[in-house]
Amino acid sequence: MQSATTTDRDSLTSRILPQMTLSKGDETSSTGPPALPSDNLSAEKSAAKRFEVEGNAIITGGGGALGFAALKALLEHGLSGVMIFDVNLTQAQPKIDKLQKEFPACQIHSKRVDITDDLAVAKAVEETGNLLGSVDHLLCFAGVVGCQHALDMTAAEWRRVLDINTTGGFLCAQAVAKQMVQQGHGGSIIFVASISGHRVNWPQPQVAYNVSKSALLTLKSCLAAEWARYGIRVNSLSPGYMDTILNEGEGIAEARKIWADRNPLGRMGTPNELTGTVVLLSSMQATYINGTDIVVDGGQILF
């Protein structure tokens, strides 16, 4: 009788690797060049169309400061409808209602979704597609921060951070990609990584967070290569320290000063300073941007 180890080794030598398929890139594919703009457009209309955002989006963590600012910017640039996935919508609902009044022609919906639950995510994406008519964009803002010394970190805390930040991002991307493939016209997926995925930040210890964000950068690259054939572009943006409620309070005042002192611009960023990158990556101008990470940090990682 063969041992399990021998059997496993035999199966390795006889396996057949699946292989990626790349697009042909011609007019019969999902990745052909976009149509040339009309010569009849005025300069103003041509400029507006260059950064036009078409279709509908899902934004995870859309009730938070960064996700909400991105959502509003996309609506300003033409987004037709949006579904916000969040685990806590109570505090965000008043500003969501206000946004709906500001954009009455747009469909703005919200749904409580645990992005670490693959079945719940798949169901929510399907329901969103049925409600809005399509899902053309995914923006993954949902995430958690964990600042803890590595020697003191429990396995449960390590898994929680990676489960939400990395696995949750993958599950949402996978479900949306399946929806896009079914629709047949591709779309855009944007992960929100971090400068923490590029280097070790100072002075806070946050090994799980840093690892979860660096994993997102590799995830972005892998999916960009694998899903390009379907016309799905996968990119990411890496914010630096942003001036939101997560970075407020006297308890981190010293850290805030250190972050500002080590930044060439001498300050933290604001949520609106991320919106230009989000609009660019979601717009008609980004049809040849795939697998890219854009750092928006005021130069923080230069040192």
Catalytic machinery residues: 194, 209, 213
Rg over alpha carbons for the chain, rounded to the nearest Å, is 21
